[in-house]
Amino acid sequence: MEKFFIIANWKSNKTTDEAIEWLREISKIKDHNLKIILCAPFTALYPLKLLIEKSGLPIKLGAQDISPFPDGAYTGEISARMLKDLGVGYVLVGHSERRRYFGETDIQVAQKVRMALDFEIIPIVCVGEFNQFINILNKLETKELAKIIFMLEPPGAISVQTGPVGQGEAESVQNVVEMIKKMKRFTPASNFFYGGSVKSHNITNFLSQPEINGVVTGTASQNAQEFIKMIENAAKI
Ligand code: PGA
C-alpha cells in the first residue's frame, strides 16, 4: 500500500550525468511503500525518464516550474504539454524561491495551476503563510482544489535562507500541524505537504502526523546517501 509522499526538489542543481548517478545510487533501494517524486531541473527530465522506464524504479517525475501559458510565442518557457510529454506527473508551483528571485505572483501561480491541471499534471502549490494560502485559494475553483496539493514551506525554515546551505532549522512539528489544520478547514479535499529543512533525522517527526501527507526535501535530497536514509527511516513508520 502506498503511504506517504517524499518529494525531492533538487532546485537548480545537477548536470545530466550527476542526475543519472544519483538515480543509480537510489535504485539500490527498491522495496518500500512510499511514493517518491523527483523534481529535477528541466534539462535532466528526459534522461531520467528513460532510465526510470528502463529500470522500473518506483519513482515519479516532477518539474520545478511550468509555464503559465500554453505552447506559443513565450520564449524560454516550458509548457505543460512539453512536461507531459516527458512523463512529468507533478509540478512545484509558486516555490518561495520563484517568488523571491523571479517575482512570481499569486495570479501567475493560479495560471500555472490551471495549465498543469489541463494536462493532468498535479500541481504542488507552495505557500509560506496563511494569507498567501487564502489569496491563492480565492483564485481557484472548488473542483480544482480537490486535485491539488498544498506545500507549506515557512520561509524561515527553507535551509538555504537561514544560514549555510543545509544548516537550516525545520519549523516545529506542532506549528506545522496547527497551520495545516487551519488551512484544511478551507479546503478539506486537498492534501498538505510540509517543506523546509527536512532531513533523515527529522523526516519521521513530520510524516508520523496524520495531517501531513508528505514532505518536500530540497538541499538534503541532493545527496543520494542522505535521501536513501530518509526513505529508509520513513519506511519504518
Ligand atoms: P530545503 O528546501 O529542504 O533545502 O529547506 C525545501 C524546499 O525546497 O521546499
pTM score, two decimals? 0.94
In a 10 Å sphere around its CB, with 0-12 CB exposed, 13-18 middle and 19+ buried, how is residue 31 labelled?
exposed
Q: What's the 65 CA to ligand 1 centre distance in angstroms?
A: 15
Angle at 78 between CA 73 and CA 83, to 5 degrees: 130
pLDDT score recorded for residue 157: 85
State the DSSP code for 171: P
Assess whether the C-beta atom of 197 lies below 6 angstroms from ligand 1. yes
List the CATH code of the domain at 4-235: 3.20.20.70
Angle at 120 between CA 217 and CA 112, to 5 degrees: 65
The answer to whether 221 and 20 are in contact (CB under 8 A) is: no
Q: What's the 190 CA to ligand 1 centre distance in angstroms?
A: 21
Q: pLDDT of the chain along its 237 residues, tens only?
A: 356 899 999 999 999 999 999 999 999 886 778 999 999 999 999 999 999 999 889 999 999 999 999 999 999 999 999 999 999 999 999 999 999 999 999 999 999 999 999 999 999 999 998 999 999 999 999 889 999 999 999 878 887 654 444 556 888 999 999 999 999 999 999 999 999 999 999 999 999 999 999 999 999 999 999 999 999 999 888
Which cell goes with 158? 527553507
Distance CA 217, CA 34 (A): 14
What residues act catalytically?
95, 153
Which cell goes with 200? 533523515
Which cell goes with 11? 532546485
CA 189 to each of CA 172, 177, 196: distance values in angstroms, whole numbers, following the listed order: 24, 17, 23
Give percent helix, percent strand, percent coil of the chain, each to the nearest 5: 45, 15, 40
Ligand 1: atom nearest CA of 220 is 3
* Phi, psi (deg, nearest 5) at residue 217: -120, 125
Strand pairing category for 59-63 and 88-93: parallel
* Boundaries of every domain in the chain: 4-235
Residue nearest to atom 8 of ligand 1 (CA): 218
Ligand 1: atom nearest CA of 95 is 9
Q: What's the 40 CA to ligand 1 centre distance in angstroms?
A: 13
DSSP H or E segment with residue 123 = strand 122-127
